[in-house]
């Protein structure tokens, strides 16, 4: 999602976050307007990003939820948003896989 969006709208800057850099796109394939960061979404985000983002797109975030408590995750994702910003929450529908 982020890679496609960064390529389609090159006039904007995009920040991607993941718990490990091992999930990052290999640098030669990374657009110049895309920056990747290591971040555990269950911890408070860096102050550099608090209140700075227009859209937060999260894929399979429920896999990071501990003890069925999504509140810390949601709180940290919301902290990234500018006032009026949006979260896009993407989960897989595994019920249809059988």
Summarised one tens digit per residue, pLDDT across range 12-68 is: 999 999 999 998 888 888 999 999 999 999 999 999 999 999 999 998 777 778 898
pTM: 0.84
Residue 69, pLDDT above cutoff 80: yes
CB 34 within 8 A of CB 6: yes
């Amino acid at each position: 999602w982020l890679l496609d969006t960064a390529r389609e709208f090159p006039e904007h800057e995009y920040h991607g976050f993941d718990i490990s850099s091992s999930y990052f796109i290999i640098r030669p394939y990374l657009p110049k307007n895309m920056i990747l960061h290591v971040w555990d979404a269950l911890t408070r985000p860096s102050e550099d990003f608090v209140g700075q983002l227009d859209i937060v797109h999260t894929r399979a975030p429920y896999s990071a939820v501990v003890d069925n408590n999504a509140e810390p995750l949601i709180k940290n994702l919301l902290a990234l948003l500018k006032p009026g910003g949006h979260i896009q929450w993407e989960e897989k529908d595994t019920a249809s896989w059988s």
